[in-house]
């Protein structure tokens, strides 16, 4: 007897399983999509959309017709088997993933969740290249010229590598062509796509995906409050992205302890964020229409990166111990020799360890057909490890007054408008609370009414 366990342990349609009550040539598209997936799939004929067996009468015919039709149109044979349960016959078509892109009458299909979709437009070329084992960053660019390469970027790369002792002291930082050729970033007179995005001041001339976008959102489904685009040579992007993220989007707060001594604390461990950003830059799909995006919410930071996991990998493979399989080997080698990554696939473990030390939950990973998302979730604030004591000066304050005072002390809010957005109160109500704190000499206005900020008063801050 055939059970649902035998078809992958799932009792519903998924990326690898689809049910059909009867056969139709339209389902050849689903077979094509399964053949183009990393894991293949199974088409079950004789089940309704609830997963109930309804049975078919032409099973013997389908056992011959389906594999021959698939081979004639797509040049491979699926496995087609008939099973009987409760007196009803159904057919299972098992499709293994194919090594090269499969098309049906000139059209390629792929799976997106439990849906079969066409691969069209700008998605088609990277799809075919990926199935063929080609890496876009390893190909030469028709656009890039030596004049597009920044000598300052190349020099900075060599000097950094020499500093961490991964590049020979004899390497000449000013020899742009020599460096590119040594790292296989230039062949004859042509520059590879990897060389162009790594060292060009305008990498988007060669790859739309070669930048990182940061956005701040009031709520998960709320409006965008501000954004930044990190451009320039890709070798500089991780450090610039982290700096912008920490300085502008997840600013360090200040915890109060020992009579209001202010201690700098981060909501998310900077080294873990840096590792995740580097991973995104090294592994991103540079032919994608999407860019690496960092969404900052009140209680989480989500880094989404276009690109697929290595063939056969799942979310479980990603978080488990694994060997390094860089999506862009030429870019990975440059980042390795700068001392930014290792060759041992330890980045994910490092991120988890840093989050554990900081006292926040370990990150979540979400993988879809277009990319990978890592989600950092906030938790208890970390500082020197000493207990934080609440200041006696704020005893008796109303809840909103207390929240505003504490937020200003931690460096979270600098304007009444920002306080209103976070607290949910009106700007007028926030101003009323601010004036009460000011009159109690707990906070003070620094600068003009239009461009100034609210800070703790000198007495309140214990200075």
Q: How many domains does the chain have?
A: 3
In terms of pLDDT, which residue wins out, 72 or 37?
72
Same domain, 277 and 343: yes
* pLDDT at residue 313 in the model: 55
112 & 216 share domain: no
The alpha carbon torsion through 295, 354, 250, 198 (nearest 10 deg) reads -60
Same domain, 270 and 246: yes
Query: CATH code at 293?
Result: 3.30.565.60
229 & 267 share domain: yes
- Same domain as 421, residue 273: no
Task: Quote the pLDDT of residue 10.
Answer: 40
| Tens-digit pLDDT profile for residues 138-154 | 889 989 999 999 999 99
Query: Which tokens go with 191?
Result: 């520059």
Between CA 52 and CA 39 the distance in angstroms is 24
CATH code (residue 90): 3.30.950.30
Domain boundary among 103, 131, 159: 131
434 with 382, same domain: the answer is: no
Please check whether residues 352 and 249 belong to one and the same domain. yes
Say what the alpha-carbon torsion angle 452, 455, 457, 462 is, to the nearest 10 degrees: -140
Quick one: 236 and 330 in the same domain? yes
**pLDDT tier at 245 (50, 70, 90 boundaries)?**
very high
Looking at the structure, do residues 54 and 33 belong to the same domain, yes or no?
yes
Are residues 332 and 455 located together in one domain of the fold?
A: no
Beta bridge partners of 112: 115
Which residue range forms the structural domain that includes residue 385?
135-389
As a whole number, the mean pLDDT across the chain is 83
Give me the helix-helix angle, 416-423 and 427-439, nearest 10°. Answer: 120
pLDDT digits (tens, 9 = 90+) for 70-81: 999 999 999 999
**Model confidence at 265, in pLDDT bands (50, 70, 90)?**
confident
Rounded average pLDDT over 420-434: 80
- Residues 112-123: what's their mean pLDDT? 81
d(CA 286, CA 194): 9
Same domain, 146 and 212: yes
How are beta strands 292-297 and 88-95 bridged, if at all?
unpaired
Residue 121's pLDDT is 73
**pLDDT attached to residue 201:** 95
Q: What is the pLDDT of residue 9?
A: 38
Q: pLDDT-derived band of residue 90, with 50, 70 and 90 as boundaries?
A: very high
Indicate the residue among 88, 105, 131 that finishes a domain.
131
The verdict on 378 and 455 lying in the same domain is no
Contacts of 371 (CB under 8 A, 6+ apart): 285, 288, 290, 304, 305, 306, 307, 308
Q: What is the pLDDT of residues 152-189, one digit of tens each?
A: 999 999 999 999 999 999 999 999 999 999 999 999 87
| 1 confidence band (pLDDT: 50, 70, 90) | very low
Domain end among 97, 131, 165:
131
Alpha carbons 210 and 103: distance in angstroms, whole number: 29
Residue pLDDT, tens place only, 205-235:
999 999 999 999 878 777 888 889 999 999 9
């Amino acid at each position: 007897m055939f059970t649902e366990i035998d078809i992958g342990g799932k009792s519903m349609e998924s990326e690898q399983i689809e049910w059909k009550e009867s056969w139709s040539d339209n389902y050849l598209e689903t077979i094509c999509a399964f053949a183009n997936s990393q894991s293949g799939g199974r088409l079950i004929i004789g089940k309704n959309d609830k997963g109930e067996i309804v049975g078919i009468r032409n099973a013997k015919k389908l056992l011959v017709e389906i594999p021959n039709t698939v081979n004639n149109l797509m040049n491979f044979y699926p496995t087609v088997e008939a099973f009987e349960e409760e007196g009803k016959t159904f057919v299972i078509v098992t499709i293994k993933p194919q090594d090269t892109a499969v098309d049906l009458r000139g059209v390629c299909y792929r799976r997106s969740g439990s849906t079969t979709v066409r691969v069209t437009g700008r998605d088609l070329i990277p799809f075919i290249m990926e199935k063929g084992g080609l890496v876009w960053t390893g190909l030469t660019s028709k656009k890039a010229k030596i004049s597009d390469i920044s000598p300052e970027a190349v020099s900075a790369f060599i000097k950094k590598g020499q500093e961490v002792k991964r590049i020979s002291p004899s390497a000449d930082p000013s020899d742009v062509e020599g460096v590119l050729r040594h790292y296989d970033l230039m062949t004859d007179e042509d520059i590879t796509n990897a060389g162009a995005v790594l060292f060009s001041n305008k990498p988007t001339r060669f790859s739309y995906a070669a930048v990182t976008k940061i956005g701040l959102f009031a709520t998960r489904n709320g409006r965008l409050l501000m954004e930044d685009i990190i451009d320039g040579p890709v070798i500089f992007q991780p450090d610039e992205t982290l700096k912008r993220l920490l300085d502008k989007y997840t600013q360090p707060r200040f915890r109060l302890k020992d009579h209001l001594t202010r201690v700098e604390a981060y909501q998310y461990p900077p080294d873990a964020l840096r590792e995740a950003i580097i991973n995104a830059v090294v592994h991103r799909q540079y032919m994608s229409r999407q860019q690496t995006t960092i969404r900052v919410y009140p209680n989480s930071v989500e880094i989404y990166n276009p690109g697929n996991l290595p063939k056969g990998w799942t979310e479980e493979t990603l978080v488990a111990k694994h060997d390094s399989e860089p999506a862009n080997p030429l870019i990975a080698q440059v980042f390795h020799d700068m001392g930014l990554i290792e060759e041992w696939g330890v980045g994910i473990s490092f991120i988890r360890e840093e989050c554990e030390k900081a006292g926040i939950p370990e990150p979540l990973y979400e993988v879809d057909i277009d990319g990978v998302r890592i989600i950092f979730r906030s938790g208890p604030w970390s500082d020197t490890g000493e207990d934080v004591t609440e200041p006696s000066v704020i005893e008796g304050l109303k809840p909103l007054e207390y929240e505003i005072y504490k937020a200003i002390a931690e460096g979270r809010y600098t304007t009444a408008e920002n306080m209103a957005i976070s607290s949910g109160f009106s700007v007028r109500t926030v101003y009323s609370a601010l004036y009460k704190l000011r009159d109690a000499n707990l906070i003070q206005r620094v600068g003009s009414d239009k461009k100034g900020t609210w800070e703790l008063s000198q007495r309140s801050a214990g200075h």
